[in-house]
Structure 1
């Protein structure tokens, strides 16, 4: 099995070096690069093509959220992005997730949990700290219940299926799949596949 290639982005050298040492000593993880701000992160990520990026939020110059948005504009699904920060306000959490982050942990998270989170994200699973779960829960339940078919579609999307693959599995057309997803987005109050999966996961819908 190939090691999970990671990039560490943090403006504090001590924190950055600590993360590099921690990840570098973990089985199945390789540190492919580091960056001290969002702008440099975009350059490093473009060059090394990591599987997972550990991203701080508040940095001089280009912030973590700005960097996440730029990365998602390039590629909606890769690399997987884990926000690792000291800030746990609802604004920070929602801002990061809405920008396209796949996970959110605080810097006081235990070493083993951070390592597990990297592997989980690489495998396509969501990773959210309790503070992030609380922020999502504060948004309330869906404005309207999802239908059984919409949940089927969402579960297949969560498993990584394309719209075409979902249609094949369910015996429906790709256009119908898109229609179901649009209804899901509206009911969950989100604007894209990744956000729908994250929200549905934390609400226990998938």
Structure 2
């Protein structure tokens, strides 16, 4: 094994460990101390919002708020799909892109096969991102019908049921946004594993702050 291949393996493995460790920490924080995280705070806020909407029967406000969320999710889903197609297209037509990539690759392997693998992984991440945003749209559409029934005696459209579906849609929205965030590391990997590691450290520092603010 060459020294460049060894550097590639070590730096990529370090990046994976950093990102996975942070998200395990975040998951445990949300589970055990949710109100100290942005995810827990917004889940609680949505629960209160559903309670107010259904008690006061403010159907117009509900539809306007859900419409804004749907528009954002639709835009992000379309963006993710376009980037996914672009990444896959670039993978099969390397051309000048691979030359620019190798010029910035200070440490690591410089093979066309690995470069294509990087782009394929980037495309897969954006496909998963697209899929999560479409699921988010699906759940928000369900909420649009459920929240306007105002049937407190029906458990399928109760306040708890509506909140559960709404937060489920928000979860897919959050996962979709994580896909955009994590794509930064994969995109930097195109220019070398050392850039990937550096970008991941900056990304985790930024996410650490964002995940603790509503």
- Which TM-score band applies after superposition, normalised by the shorter structure? under 0.3
Calculate the TM-score normalised by the size of structure 2: 0.25
Of Structure 1 and Structure 2, which has the larger fraction of its residues in helix? 2
Calculate the TM-score normalised by the size of structure 1: 0.25
| Bigger relative contact order (CA 8 A; separation at least 6) | 2
Over alpha carbons, which structure has the higher Rg? Answer: 2
